[in-house]
Structure 1
Amino acid sequence: MFLDTPEPRLDQSSTYKAIQELQMFMEYFPTSSRRQDAQQMIFDLQDKLVMKDYLAAKLYYDLGSYTGNSTYSTTGNNYLSCIVTAQNALKDYPYTKMREDLSILVLRAKYDMAKASVEEKKEERMRETIDEYYSFKNEFPDSKYTKEVESIYKDANKYVKEFNE
């Protein structure tokens, strides 16, 4: 079952089933010598699910405010979709190795959504970006994204200060 799971960009139904089977094994055989192996397999499968969510969030982010040529679509809310997808992945898999990558996607999406906002929503969204910056810096003080994060903060903070003058 474990070996039958597909790569992250494909349907993960068999991954969920494999996790369920491994959890049942651990329940039925709590003293098994293979328990550690089963637990490690579950972690590996969860990493695959996190990667699937990351790829989906990244796709939403890359689409940005694209709406296509549809006459029914009035706004592109792909940034919001990116935020929701990444935050759900962080909630579902709080100990993932990809936590920093998911968190930077949330910050970038909030910032880009704020920049693309209408004036009446821009200040509020820039403030949300600043809040997200502080959350990010708190959790990842030595991040590989420090330069980008500081640039986002500086720009968002500048906008909020100018707005309040």
Structure 2
Amino acid sequence: MIFCRNVLIYFDRATQDRAIGVLTRLLKAKGVLFVAPAETALPSAHGFVSTNMPLAFAFRRAAAVPPKPQKAPDPVERPSARRPLTKTGPPLHRAPSAAPAATSPTRLAAEKSSDINEALRLADQGHFVEAATCCAEHLRRHGPSGTAFYLMGLGRDATGNQLEAVSYYRKALYLEPNHGE
């Protein structure tokens, strides 16, 4: 048995693929690989099948059959980079109505909130690149944030990079399992 829970979500796609390759080599023929709920697509994409254990995200190697050729994905029409994205729904979030007091701990909280609120405002306006820049700065200064990772995923999704988007959404859900979006 190999337990690898909540590790793979922090890797980029290439590192995830390499890690699954290493785990595949280390796992005995009838061994079981346990992963977190957000990581279940990775073993499935690398020749593992679910063991169907109740309340467990456990996988075993598929029987030794040659892999089926994969159909190329249908081309996705992407919006022109020059055409502005239009807003189709209500704003994602609203700014808090009252400003926190100007003491040291609350000032830090206000800065955190300000960074995220600015990123939300930019995302609501369709400025996903700028919103991602705000989120990256927020993550650099304040550490992991479910909302920041969600907005990073939203930006990647809007620009057609679904693989990176899924990675950011997984991180957001890991940090905030009940995230509203």
TM range (shorter): under 0.3
TM-score (norm 2): 0.26
Say which structure is richer in strand: 2
Say which structure is richer in helix: 1
